Amino acid sequence: MKKNILSIISFLTVSVVLFSACDKDDGKPVVYYQTQDQMARPAINTVFVDAAEKDVFNTTTPSAQGAAFAMKFKNKLLALNPGYTTNLLGLDATAFTNVLATDVLTGSTTGVTTFYDGTNVLTGRALADDVIDVELILIFGGPMATMNPGLTSDNVGTNDKAFLTSFPYLATPH
């Protein structure tokens, strides 16, 4: 506890020396940090955003992404898969890209957390989830996940190291 207080004090002292901006409320120095990169659902930017706009997407706050990107996502989806009708979730191109364009990762606080496990959809992202296959199925697989079979799996289904069952869950480094 004492050590914590000391380190907080030294942190603040250094900050006072380095920065002149002051908080109106209590006179303590305020340091601000600005978004450089951002992500939620895997590979969304990779797949749906044009090269010239990748940094823009990465710095557009999620509540503003839908209005700015939904139509562009729809165009990209139909360019990738001109035969798109609906997908396994029953979403047409407009509905699907409206969901994707607001890039947040939903996590259930009451049940199973998985990107997709055959039953639960977008309730989290677990380490072993094959998220790329899920996205490929939703983009290319059609309403029954049976269309474009060469495009609905990258044929890499597991990690190269086993995950841990307890914290911190990720495998030791190579």
Partner 1 sequence: MKLKRVLTIGLASAGIITAGILFAADHIDSPAVTNQSTDITDIYVFRGQDQNNLVFVANTQGLLAPGATAAAAFDNNTVIEFNIDNNGDAVEDLVIQGISSGGKMRIYGPIKPSETGNRSRLEGNPTAEVAITPYGSSPSIATGVGGIKVFAGPRDDPFFFDLNQFKKVIAGTAPSFNKPGDDSFKGTNVLSLVVEVPKSLLNATTGKVNVWVETKKKI
Least Å from the CB of residue 16 to partner 1: 15
Least Å from the CB of residue 108 to partner 1: 5
Q: Comparing C-alpha atoms, which of 52, 61, 164 is closest to residue 104?
A: 61
Q: Comparing C-alpha atoms, which of 139, 133, 166, 21 is closest to residue 74?
A: 139
41-75 as b/e: b if 16+ CB within 10 A: bbebbebbbeeeeeeebeebeeeebbeebbebbbe
CA distance to 10, 17, 148, per residue, from 1 (Å): 14, 25, 60
Least Å from the CB of residue 160 to partner 1: 4
Looking at the Cβ atoms of 7 and 85, the one nearer to partner 1 is 7
Tell me how far apart the alpha carbons of residues 93 and 83 are, in angstroms, rounded to a whole number.
11
Looking at the Cβ atoms of 20 and 34, the one nearer to partner 1 is 34
Looking at the Cβ atoms of 10 and 94, the one nearer to partner 1 is 10
- Token pair of 41 as six digits: 């659902």
Looking at the Cβ atoms of 87 and 115, the one nearer to partner 1 is 115
Least Å from the CB of residue 53 to partner 1: 10
Looking at the Cβ atoms of 66 and 87, the one nearer to partner 1 is 66
DSSP state of 52: G
Least Å from the CB of residue 151 to partner 1: 6
